[in-house]
Amino acid sequence: MARFARLWLRTFFQVLWARWRRGPLRPTWSLMLETTVTYLRSDFMELATWPIPEARTTLEGRPLPRDATSRVERTVVADGPLRGEWIRSAAASEPVAGVVLYLHGGSFLFGSPRTHADTLARLALATDRPVLAPEYRLAPEHPYPAQLEDALAALAGLEAMGVPRARIVVAGESAGANLALALALALRDRGEPQPAGLALISPWLDLTSSADSHRRNVAFDYGTAEILRAQARLFAGTLPLDDPRLSVGNADPAGIAPAFLQVGTAELLLDECRAWAEKARAAGVALTVDEPVDMPHAPPFFASVCPQGVAAIDAVAAFVRRRLASDGSNTKPER
């Protein structure tokens, strides 16, 4: 907490001085949004030099907004294929009526239902559907394909408790969105039915981080291509980073569930997401694309500090509600 306070205060005054000299870094950025992005960049760069266990502990202890988490019920599941957390609003329907299976991000090295508690709570509140956030295994202790195995196990666990696959939307952000897409591709390759939909928030589709937006947007996002590649290698094990099992943007997307793709126009992953959207549409995927203007990586993360973040979580929730309200046969893009 002391480290967070020091870094946040230092960042706030740095941003205040910079905005006085040159105005906002992006035209739509408020002081709070710019401070938050700048803080996350400084935090990301520093933690990338730390031993992974120490960085995980620090991220687990980072303070989060409480306005959403205080309005949901969180239930920890400690054992079995559904190990993780259930998050429910007061008005949530029963799981058999529809569930969001949310796969958290964190470069496959970090993260948990606790680090993502704010986003999970907001999604549960905006959808009034139960959200299950699995605590999948992390690299480098557990490289690929441990994460995919755990995601498949969580899906099977939901079905074992009576939730039909057509009542499950698989969602995730960053590495978690990569995992959500990998899950859909694995189901397709096995000849199994798809879930009701895929909600892909800032998906990490190209682990080589070679797209031009990694250079063009580096000043507006939190992270660098070099650090992302180094983290990806810890997840990849012996596989090359461009292997389509890892860089799922390289895989043929034909036959996957209707998908929602959200990517901020100021983020590093913008170009790879746009390239995949073109590829998915050409392959016949029913795809809805949402590009929050000027937003950095994972726009819903910023729902507590700016209206653009609220709109981002609302857009994800609208897709979830539509897919779970349908009978599973509607494959047309929502807009």
Give the residue numbers marked as catalytic: 174, 267, 297
CB 140 within 8 A of CB 235: yes
Q: How far is CA 123 from the centre of its chain?
A: 12
d(CA 273, CA 248): 11
Q: DSSP string spanning 178-247?
A: HHHHHHHHHHHHTTPPP-SEEEEES----TT--STHHHHTGGGSS--HHHHHHHHHHHHTTS-TT-TTTS
First-to-last CA distance in the chain? 43
C-beta neighbour count of 334 within 10 angstroms = 16
Q: Which pair of tokens denotes residue 317? A: 């929730």
Pick from 208, 251, 212: which is nearest to 232 by CA?
A: 208
d(CA 303, CA 122): 8
**Which helix (H) or strand (E) is 272 found in, with range?**
helix 270-282
C-beta neighbour count of 227 within 10 angstroms = 16
d(CA 111, CA 59): 8
Strands laid side by side in the 259-262 sheet: 72-77, 84-89, 131-134, 99-103, 168-173, 197-201, 259-262, 287-290
| 174 three-state secondary structure | coil
